[in-house]
C-alpha cells in the first residue's frame, strides 16, 4: 500500500481537528493509502514540538516552508488564519503537492483566483474544509432534492449565526482585520453559501446589506486601548438561483444563544425540508398534505453514519464530520472519489461572497457572473 505523508500547518482548534481526523480515518475506514503523520509546523517552536509529540507527528518545524520542502510530506494540510492560506497553498502547489486547506479559501477573490489557476496548472488534488457538507444527513437532503421529492424548489432560507463576538468587550483578534479574515460573512457565511450551492446549485444574482455593529474592541483582554473594527458583524442577503428558486441568507457572530446555528429551510412544490447543525443528526420534513413536520433521524442506513455506529440515535459529531471529509480526500488522492469541495468550487463560493459584498456596498443587485 502506498504511503501518504501528512504535513499539518497550524496547531489551533482546526489543527487539532485535522490531526484527530487523520487518526480517526485510519482507525475507522479501510483506506487505499497508508497515512503517515510526517510533519507538523507552527511558528512557535516549543508548541510545534509539543503538538507533534502529542498528536503523533514524526517531525516538528517552526518554518512552514520547511514542512512543504520536506520530502516525507506528500499532502499539505493548512489550518492557519485566513491570510496565510494563499502563500502556503501557492508554495505547496508550486512544489506539486496536494493541498487540504481550511475555509475560506482566501481573503480576496483575486487571491482565490490565483489559487484556483495554480491548482489547475499543478494538476493535483485540492480540498477545502467545508466539512458540514459531509454530514450523512446533508447527503440525504441533497439526494431527496435531486430525486424531486420536494417537487420544484422555490425557496431557500439559510442562516449561520453564533455568539462568540456578541460581547462588545470581547477583544480584537485576527478575525477583526479585513486583510486577515473578512468578518462574519467569511468566517461563518462562507459555510452557508457553500451549503446553498451544494444543495441547490449556482446562484445567478444577489442583493445584500451588511453592518458593523461594534466599531471598536479592546486591543487585548483587559486592555483599555481600543482598536477600530471595519469587518462586518452581520450580513443579510437575497439570492436568485439559476434553477429559478429564490433565497435568503443571513450570518452573524453577535446572536446570543447560538453556538453553531448553520440552518436552512428548503421549500418546493411538494414539501419543505429543514436542518439545524445544532441538531446535526436529524432533518425535519413536511410533505404536501401532511399536518406538520416529521423528524428524520440519522442511522446506519446512511453509509457515513454506519462507519461509526451500528444503531440509530447514537449521534455523530463535529469530529466525525471532519473524519468523513478526510476519508473523501484520501479516496480522491487514490483516484477513487470526487465528492469534496476543491479549489474550483471554493473559488465559486468566494465569487458569491464577493458579489454579496459589492451588492451591500453599492446597494444594488449584482450578477455573480459579472465577477
pLDDT in tens, 147-205: 999 999 999 999 999 999 999 999 999 999 888 888 999 999 999 999 999 999 999 99
Q: Which residues contact 314 (CB under 8 A, 6 or more apart)?
A: none
**Cell of residue 95, nine digits:** 512544489
Last-in-domain residue among 131, 149, 177:
131
| Mean per-residue pLDDT, 271-286 | 98
Among 173, 157, 329, which Cα is nearest to 251's? Answer: 157
Question: How far, rounded to the nearest angstrom, does the alpha carbon of residue 1 sit from its chain's CA centroid?
Answer: 30
Per the domain annotation, does 281 fall within a domain? yes
pLDDT in tens, 90-120: 999 999 999 999 999 999 999 999 999 999 9
- Phi, psi (rounded to 5 degrees) for 152: -75, 125
Predicted confidence at residue 182, as pLDDT, reads 83
Q: 11 lies in which domain range?
A: 3-131
The answer as to whether 326 is a domain residue is no
SS3 186: helix
Q: Which residues contact 72 (CB under 8 A, 6 or more apart)?
A: 5, 36, 38, 39, 58, 59
Round to whole Å and give the CA distance between 132 and 324. Answer: 10
Does residue 325 sit within a domain? no
pLDDT of 222: 87
Do residues 115 and 158 share a domain? no
CB 350 within 8 A of CB 112: yes
Query: Do residue 122 and residue 178 come from a single domain?
Result: no
The pairing of strands 99-101 and 75-78 is parallel
Both 85 and 71 in a single domain? Answer: yes
Query: End of a domain among 92, 114, 131?
Result: 131
Q: Report whether 209 contacts 357 (CB < 8 A).
A: no
What three-state secondary structure class fits 203?
A: strand
Residues paired with 227 in a beta bridge? 217
Q: Specify whether 124 is located in the same domain as 144.
A: no
- Please check whether residues 141 and 113 belong to one and the same domain: no
Is residue 360, in this structure, part of any structural domain at all? yes
Question: 131, 166, 187: which is the final residue of a domain?
Answer: 131
SS3 content of the chain, % helix, strand, coil (to 5): 40, 25, 35
444503531: which residue's cell?
Answer: 311
Which positions ≥6 away from 103 have C-beta within 8 Å?
128, 129, 130, 190, 191, 194, 346, 349
Flag whether 76 is in a domain. Answer: yes
pLDDT of 295 reads 97
Q: What is the pLDDT of residue 362?
A: 98
Our CA dihedral for 279, 104, 153, 272, rounded to 10 degrees, sits at 10
CA–CA separation, 276 vs 257, rounded Å? 14
Smallest CA-to-CA distance from 137 within 349, 301, 327 is with 301
Does 8 have pLDDT greater than 90? yes
Q: Which residues pair with 155 in a beta bridge?
A: 246, 267
What is the tens place of the pLDDT at every residue in 33-76? 999 999 999 999 999 999 999 999 999 999 999 999 999 999 99
Maximum alpha-carbon separation in the chain: 62
272 and 140 assigned to the same domain: yes
Alpha helices in 29-99 (DSSP H): 45-55, 64-69, 85-94
Answer yes or no: do 237 and 100 share one domain. no
Asked whether residue 50 is assigned to any structural domain, the reply reads yes
Report angle CA 254, 260, 263 to the nearest 5 degrees: 100
One domain for residues 33 and 101: yes
- How far, in Å, CA of 27 to CA of 70, rounded? 26
Number of domains within the chain:
2
The CA distance from 317 to 335, in Å, is: 27
Q: Check whether residue 114 and residue 154 sit in a common domain.
A: no
- The reply to whether 119 and 170 lie within a common domain is no
State the Cα–Cα distance between residues 301 and 143, nearest whole angstrom. 14
Q: What is the mean pLDDT of residues 332-360?
A: 95
Please check the confidence at residue 304 and state whether its pLDDT lies above 90. yes
**Do 142 and 103 fall into the same domain?**
no
Q: Residue 10 is part of a domain; what is its CATH number?
A: 3.40.50.720
Between β-strands 3-9 and 34-41, what pairing exists: parallel, antiparallel or unpaired? parallel
Flag whether the pTM goes above 0.85. yes
Asked if pLDDT for residue 1 goes beyond 90, the answer is: no
Q: Are strands 271-276 and 216-218 parallel, antiparallel or unpaired?
A: unpaired
Whole-angstrom distance, CA of residue 73 vs CA of residue 336: 21
Report the relative pairing of strands 59-61 and 126-128 from DSSP bridges: unpaired
Amino acid at each position: 500500500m502506498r504511503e501518504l505523508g501528512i504535513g499539518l500547518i497550524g496547531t489551533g482548534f482546526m489543527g487539532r481537528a485535522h490531526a484527530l481526523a487523520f487518526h480517526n480515518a485510519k482507525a475507522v475506514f479501510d483506506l487505499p493509502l497508508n497515512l503517515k503523520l510526517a510533519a507538523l509546523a507552527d511558528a512557535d517552536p516549543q508548541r510545534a514540538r509539543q503538538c507533534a509529540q502529542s498528536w503523533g507527528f514524526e517531525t516538528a518545524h517552526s518554518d512552514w516552508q520547511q514542512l512543504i520542502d520536506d520530502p516525507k510530506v506528500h499532502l499539505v494540510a493548512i489550518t492557519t488564519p485566513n491570510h496565510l492560506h494563499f502563500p502556503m497553498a501557492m508554495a505547496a502547489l508550486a512544489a506539486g503537492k496536494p493541498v487540504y486547506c481550511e475555509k475560506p479559501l482566501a481573503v480576496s477573490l483575486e487571491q482565490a483566483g490565483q489559487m484556483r489557476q495554480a491548482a489547475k496548472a499543478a494538476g493535483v488534488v485540492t480540498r477545502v474544509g467545508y466539512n458540514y457538507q459531509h454530514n450523512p444527513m446533508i447527503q440525504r437532503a441533497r439526494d431527496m432534492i435531486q430525486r424531486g421529492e420536494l417537487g420544484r424548489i422555490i425557496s431557500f432560507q439559510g442562516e449561520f449565526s453564533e455568539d462568540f463576538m456578541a460581547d462588545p468587550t470581547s477583544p480584537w483578534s485576527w478575525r477583526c482585520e479585513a486583510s486577515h479574515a473578512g468578518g462574519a460573512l467569511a468566517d461563518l457565511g462562507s459555510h452557508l453559501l457553500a451549503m446553498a450551492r451544494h444543495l441547490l446549485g449556482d446562484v445567478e444574482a444577489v442583493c445584500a446589506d451588511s453592518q458593523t455593529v461594534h466599531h471598536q474592541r479592546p486591543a487585548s483582554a483587559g486592555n483599555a486601548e481600543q482598536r477600530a473594527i471595519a469587518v462586518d458583524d452581520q450580513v443579510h442577503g437575497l439570492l436568485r438561483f439559476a434553477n429559478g428558486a429564490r433565497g435568503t441568507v443571513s450570518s452573524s457572530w453577535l446572536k446570543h444563544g447560538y453556538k453553531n446555528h448553520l440552518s436552512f429551510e428548503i421549500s418546493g412544490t411538494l414539501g419543505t425540508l429543514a436542518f439545524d447543525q445544532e441538531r446535526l443528526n436529524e432533518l425535519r420534513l413536511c410533505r404536501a398534505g401532511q399536518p406538520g413536520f416529521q423528524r428524520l433521524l440519522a442511522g446506519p442506513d446512511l453509509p457515513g453514519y454506519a462507519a461509526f455506529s451500528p444503531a440509530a440515535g447514537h449521534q455523530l459529531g463535529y469530529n466525525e464530520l471532519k473524519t468523513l471529509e478526510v476519508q473523501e480526500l484520501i479516496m480522491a488522492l487514490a483516484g477513487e472519489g470526487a465528492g469534496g469541495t476543491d479549489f474550483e468550487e471554493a473559488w465559486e463560493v468566494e465569487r458569491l461572497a464577493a458579489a454579496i459584498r459589492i451588492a451591500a456596498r453599492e446597494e444594488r443587485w449584482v450578477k455573480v457572473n459579472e465577477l
